[in-house]
Amino acid sequence: MSTSDISKALAEHYAASFEAHGASPRGVDWGSNPQEHLLRLDRMLAVTQRGTPAGSSTSLLDVGCGFGSLLDRSLAIGLPLVYTGIDICEPMVEAARQRHPNARWMASDILTAPTRDQHDYVVCNGILTQKLGASIRDMDQFLKALVRQMFSLCKVGIAFNVMTSHVNFTAPNLYYRNPAELLAWCMSEISTKVILDHAYPLFEYTVYIYREDAPGMQYGLHHTGGAA
């Protein structure tokens, strides 16, 4: 299955779950527990802790934004963002636009989106979960294309989550990725400035990848002691 076929299958899948369950974790088919959803959203927003250049506001692109839950969460916790949401599922984007008319929304496949606008941060909560009818190998290619595209649109860094291969059962419709292998790929292909958070109580992990020149990455910044 090509990356565009996977995107199309995902668009149909999420349109159906949104029609059935509306603006809720079940509507985006990403668990049914609102607390787990909040935990995932907070893992995404943690990417911004690196900060942005002094005096500028923080811009964030939310890839696979659904009905806009990440924007809800950032407003609830008082994190100011210049927010843009993009999602391939048009009914989802329409609902997001109605809920937050002042934010910027795009209905498009992120892999073929016409925009080349750059944002401080680019995040993706949940696209890499359902594999539906795709093979694991096809999903691996889809993941690589998605991560490359996200990184090309960021000025500081990106965050995305994936289900871990460290589970005690697997479902045939879901995509699980070995964290050590993914870490190695990110470091060799994208940037060496990577954090992999596998330490929260869900069967998944969040990967943060920063540009080599992102705030706080300069050599020697934290090393203030001299040789004895």
Ligand X SMILES: C[S@@+](CC[C@H](N)C(=O)[O-])C[C@H]1O[C@@H](n2cnc3c(N)ncnc32)[C@H](O)[C@@H]1O
Q: Which residues bind ligand X (CB under 6 A)?
A: 7, 10-11, 14, 28-30, 63-66, 69, 86-89, 92, 109-111, 125-127, 129
We find the least distance from the C-beta atom of residue 98 to ligand X, in angstroms, to be 15
Tell me whether residue 174 or residue 187 sits nearer to ligand X (CB atom): 174
């992999």: which residue's tokens?
196
Tell me whether residue 89 or residue 214 sits nearer to ligand X (CB atom): 89
Tell me whether residue 139 or residue 214 sits nearer to ligand X (CB atom): 139
Tell me whether residue 5 or residue 185 sits nearer to ligand X (CB atom): 5
We find the least distance from the C-beta atom of residue 193 to ligand X, in angstroms, to be 24
Q: Do 38 and 63 touch, CB atoms closer than 8 A?
A: no
The one-letter amino acid at 122:
V
Please tell me the distance from the alpha carbon of residue 185 to that of residue 203, in angstroms, as a whole number.
20
Please tell me the distance from the alpha carbon of residue 97 to that of residue 105, in angstroms, as a whole number.
7
We find the least distance from the C-beta atom of residue 129 to ligand X, in angstroms, to be 6
Tokens of 39: 């935990």
We find the least distance from the C-beta atom of residue 197 to ligand X, in angstroms, to be 17
Q: Which residue, judged by CB position, is nearest to ligand X in the bound state?
A: 64
End-to-end CA distance of the chain: 60
Tell me whether residue 39 or residue 187 sits nearer to ligand X (CB atom): 39
**In whole angstroms, what separates CA 41 from the centre of its chain?**
9
Phi, then psi, of 126 in degrees rounded to 5: 110, -5
- Rg of the chain over all Cα atoms, to the nearest angstrom: 17
We find the least distance from the C-beta atom of residue 224 to ligand X, in angstroms, to be 40
